[in-house]
Structure 1
Amino acid sequence: MFLVPEREIAGLVTAADCFTAVEKVFASMARKSAYNFPVIREAIGHADALYGFKSGFDRESLALGLKSGGFWPGNADKGLTNHQSTIFLFDADTGRCRAVVGGNLLTALRTAAASAVSIRYLARRDAEVLGMVGAGHQSAFQLRAALDQRDFKKIVGWNIEPRMLGRLDEVARERGIPFEAVELDRLGAESDVIVTITSSFHPILKASQVKAGTHLACMGTDTKGKQEVEADLVAGATVFTDEVAQAVTIGESQHAVAQGLVAEREIVELGRVINGDHPGRTSSEEITLFDGTGVGLQDLAVASAAVDLAIAKGVAIEIDF
């Protein structure tokens, strides 16, 4: 069995590696060659923590395993990342544990890769202004990945605590792209692509604030009750997702579906667009929305890539288990 510690991940896996892994697994899911097992996510009644499992199997890559972890809101005071996770990979032929992989950075990278895949396939080719709603830890990963998909000329951002927008400004400076903190009305009026990455339980962005032709990647809603955008905004968009079953239960689509504004059958797997089975965006005026719920197969795909790279570079720790 191999161990790939968290400390090694940054030197092993690039954003491009994660983009390729996530793109492939979305395509495999749409071909019904890969499937996710039911998600377990629970408040444990200690340290205000949410803890759970995401798991699945891809018959094409033979990735089999699970990610275990969750959210510990008090970790920042301990010098730790609030999100903590570990990925376990198993040999699909024997069931033996193949690897244990640090999952914190990989989770951030695969989440950013998912929204980046949606931008690659669904955003208008002439998109020039990128809007960011949210400025937490994950936002910097989201911003870097999004900037790789289009020739953006400007970034605008909003956060409930404006002081945190410095994180986005720093990334913009790295890329040499102007950044401006704005109110939501202006963000929606100017942005061609909007990434939402918050932990909100109340809608932040309204349908009236988003212009025609916008692509939205809604990445923060992964739990029952969470909500980043108005249900009417979801209803007015063509909705794509990583997995329909999760989108309608714990994703951004849950509210529009519950209110009867969107039917489950109307939501499209992004993998179908990747495979050429769905046209994706059909006009420059269409609003497209990617409901990124985060599926276990994404974690297994990027972890598998990390293990292969760690073995090749001689940094994987092999133990008899």
Structure 2
Amino acid sequence: MPAISFQGVTKVYQGGQGPFRALDGVSFDIAEGEFFGLLGPNGAGKTTLISILAGLARATEGRVTVMGHDVVSDFAQARHALGIVPQELVFDPFFSVRETLRIQSGYFGVRHNDDWIDEVLAGLGLADKANANMRQLSGGMKRRVLVAQALVHRPPVIVLDEPTAGVDVELRQTLWQFVARLNQQGHTVLLTTHYLEEAEALCGRIAMLKRGQIVALDRTSNLLHAAGGSMLRFKTDDALPPALQARARVTGRIAQVSARDAADVEAVLAQLRAAGVRVEDLEIGRADLEDVFLAIMQGTATPAPAPRQEVPA
């Protein structure tokens, strides 16, 4: 039995300009104990899919289950099996951190939960803020409390929707250490993030959404292997020649250019020399998940979605 199953999920919104298909026949399973990544550009349908999973929206077609419980017909059991960390900072300004977690425990009928609350607070670096009012916390600390609220009833499935957006490095490290430990203990984790280095480091399998459809679904290692080739990374203050500009990814002074093989690497370097481009800190490495993601979204690479039955046991 998969921890999460999406079966032909379609969501159509009725708007002033006619129907808009936010999701179009999305189907995949996430096995128990997996650390699974769901990636896609803004507007791809990730939040819609998670809203359906959480019971906040209803699919136009298809079925979603959590630990075998249908999110519509068996909502209570499905919701009890989920712990969801939303993108938005939502908090009650009238309670302390500990009171907030006790109230959240009560929503799920969990009593005498202080031992686990203490463990969650310690794991997320919130122990010294336990009695602080929520209004007194910084944005990063409030996000830690959101994570704690999602975990307070010990759900077998944890959904992290952009959990590290706009937070500091310390929180990211603390969060991932704690969540990785929960995953090692058997919890299933579904992560959406725009920090692709996090997905590459943490997720065993990844699905990529584009315009409401799955365009890639495979093990992370397979996606990276399929990219092949090399990536030249260097710093420069000069403009790249047009032929390279079309295939480069430039962030400030850092340029990255893909190369198929050793001959292509030499050709790129020759073009840079011929154009008089001054290069600093040149590195040659393999493509990372960001390179794979951009290639798939831009249509220059199209890994075939993995069959549904290829789900880790």
Q: What's the TM-score once normalised by structure 1's chain length?
A: 0.30
Larger Rg: 2
TM-score of the superposed pair, with normalisation by structure 2: 0.31
